[in-house]
Amino acid sequence: AQSVTQPDIHITVSEGASLELRCNYSYGATPYLFWYVQSPGQGLQLLLKYFSGDTLVQGIKGFEAEFKRSQSSFNLRKPSVHWSDAAEYFCAVGATDSWGKFQFGAGTQVVVTP
């Protein structure tokens, strides 16, 4: 069975600074990996996804993530955060032979200070 760990429950970052959110997964084969963002009162929005190929994935809102098989990681990065990036971020893994069932991490809350 797959599992996802997000080691950081809460991160505070200054506006304009870089951001990196950690995600580690456990899965027997190459998984499908996702990052979602959840703003208050909003549904989860897909930022980016990795299935295969280039291990550096570009997403929306200036986010990118890098798949590192050797470290079982899929960390999310943004070079310069904006106040609107304050939200909760979820990493998710899916079995490649499934019809779409996700295993989500517990989430990382990002606070952006002026």
Partner 1 sequence: GAGVSQSPRYKVAKRGQDVALRCDPISGHVSLFWYQQALGQGPEFLTYFQNEAQLDKSGLPSDRFFAERPEGSVSTLKIQRTQQEDSAVYLCASSFLAGLTDTQYFGPGTRLTVL
Q: Where along the sequence are the contacts to partner 1 (CB under 8 A)?
A: 4, 32, 36, 41-46, 49, 51, 90, 92, 94-96, 98-107
For the CB of residue 77, give the shortest distance to partner 1 in the complex, in Å: 20
For the CB of residue 104, give the shortest distance to partner 1 in the complex, in Å: 3
For the CB of residue 107, give the shortest distance to partner 1 in the complex, in Å: 5
- Please tell me the distance from the alpha carbon of residue 89 to that of residue 103, in angstroms, as a whole number: 14
Q: Which amino acid is at 59?
A: G
Query: Closer CB to partner 1, residue 15 or residue 75?
Result: 75
State the number of CA atoms in the 13 A half-sphere of 56 facing the CB: 2
For the CB of residue 58, give the shortest distance to partner 1 in the complex, in Å: 15
- Please tell me the distance from the alpha carbon of residue 114 to that of residue 111, in angstroms, as a whole number: 10
Q: For the chain, first and last CA: distance in Å?
A: 41
Q: Which two tokens stand for residue 32?
A: 């499908």
Query: Closer CB to partner 1, residue 43 or residue 114?
Result: 43
